[in-house]
Structure 1
Amino acid sequence: AVRDEGTSYHYLPPSREVTLDPDVVQTIGATLARHSVTGTECKTWTTDAFFRETEKKIALRKDEGCLCVEMECSAAAAVARFRNVKFGQILYAGDNLDAAEYDDREWWNAMSNRERLFELSLEACVGIR
């Protein structure tokens, strides 16, 4: 995750990115695959300044390989590493802001998808050692 928030710098030395535990990422991927749920392992841009997600910054983050933006991943990963605990993240993209027109992806009608993802997240947690 690209670190563009303030919390992670209180837990880890400064760096451009923080990586997640590969074993945790693999466990999450295997859990999803067992249930025929497709997902994309990707780099994310963590920022707590969503009103500063300018077109220029979006283009720069895409050039860095980021496929999405969120507000927690790098901070949570830094705290987990500092505390020596396992951490992984599953992002559910409920909408798309990176298009000429807003696409809500039927967010309000997708409760069963979110419930299933929650259950799969719990299963993945059980598999993390």
Structure 2
Amino acid sequence: MLHRNDFPIVEYDDAAKAKINPESFKPGCFETDKMIITFFPEVMKKLIEKNKISLERVIPGENPVEIYKFNDESNVLITLGQVGCPACAGNLDLFQEMGVKKVMFCGGGGVLDRNIEVGQLLLVEGAIRDEGFSYHYLPPARVVYTDEDTTNRIAEYLDKENISYLRGLTWTTDAIFRETEDKIELRKSEGGKIVEMEQAGCIAVARFRGFEYGALIYGGDDLSGEEWSDRSWRSRDGIRYDLVNLCKKLVYII
């Protein structure tokens, strides 16, 4: 049923089927249900060079998506995420049709609090929905939350392994060049710790389709001061490689 509104973006339709559905593409199924989505291309390159992963499948299209699989016995898939909810979360919806039911996401984002150091991990508990994609999967709300049991299982593992992390919300936005000072302060007051561009959509797809999803985002550039600071966050190769390997373990726990 379509719920009409003065603003199209909040006209949520709770119909289970759309005109075009993931199964419409007849994508075929993977032999495993576990996947890592990462935003670290240099880690993917290193894994390929070390013969740690092999190309499993290419999903064709105007922007083909390459899916790799670890060469060990872990039976875990890995793919490089695409920027923004329509691309990243849209692909995630297709992946779940292909049999993926356990997903760990790892990426980086801009911190809203300068006390969050470069490399500090945020276990995502939810996302402030300042984008458009998630409103097509769930009714309007300011925040979409991850599944609490799934998030707690991740936290229990991190605690057991003495891995330092924060828990909290991200701020998902479509517009990297419209992160204004007033918006940053508002999102901070709402509990946002990191700004990124995918979590609200990915969480919404997982809740709508009913599969396990967890996300770890590490602190990157700093938006909390008077001037933006890059903090050389993309050069933290060790952090990024270790985070992918951590997610490889966590995807079995969620």
Amino acid at match of 2:193: L
1:66 aligns with 2:192: yes
Compute the displacement of 1:32 (Å): 2.1
Structure with the greater relative contact order (CA < 8 A, sep ≥ 6): 1 or 2?
Answer: 1
2:151 is matched with which residue? 25
C-alpha distance in structure 2 between counterparts of 1:104 and 1:35, whole Å: 30
Supply the RMSD in Å over aligned alpha carbons: 1.6
- Corresponding residue of 1:45: 171
Q: Which residue identity lines up with residue 41 of structure 1 in the other structure?
A: R
Q: How does 1:1-129 map to 2 (within 5 A)?
A: 1-128=127-254
User: Contact conserved, 1:28 with 1:121, CA < 8 A, in 2?
Assistant: no
Q: What one-letter code is carried by the residue in structure 2 that aligns with 1:97?
A: L
Partner AA of 1:117 in structure 2: L
- Higher gyration radius (CA): 2
Q: TM-score, normalised by structure 1?
A: 0.89
- Tell me the CA shift for residue 103 of structure 1: 4.2
Judge which range, 105-114 or 46-55, deviates more.
105-114
**Secondary structure in 2 matching 1:40:** strand
Q: Structure 1: which 5+ runs fail to align?
A: none
Q: What are the ranges of 5 or more consecutive residues in structure 2 without an aligned counterpart? A: 1-126
Give 1:105 deviation, angstroms: 4.0
For the 8 Å contact 1:31–1:123, the answer to whether it is kept is no
User: Which shows bigger deviation, 104-113 or 58-67?
Assistant: 104-113
In the alignment, residue 3 of structure 1 is paired with which amino acid?
A: R
Deviation at 1:106, TM superposition (A): 4.4
* In 2, Cα distance between equivalents of 1:61 and 1:106: 24
Q: Which amino acid aligns with 1:70?
A: E
Which structure's residues are more often helix, by fraction?
1
The secondary structure found in structure 1 opposite 2:215 is coil
Determine the C-alpha separation between the residues in 2 that align with 1:124 and 1:41: 16
Alpha-carbon distance in 2 for matches of 1:91, 1:106:
16
Report the Cα offset of residue 96 of structure 1: 1.7
Q: Which amino acid aligns with 1:72?
A: E
* Cα distance per residue 1:82-129 (max 9 Å; x no partner): 11111111001122222245544443542111111111111111011x
TM-score (norm 2): 0.47
Q: Give the distance between the partners of 1:14 and 1:92, measured in 2 at CA.
A: 28
User: In the aligned structure 1, how far is the partner of 2:196 from the partner of 2:243?
Assistant: 17
**Distance in 1, Cα, partners of 2:188 & 2:129:** 14
Cα 1:121/1:84, change in 2 over 3 Å? same
SS in 2 for 1:121: helix
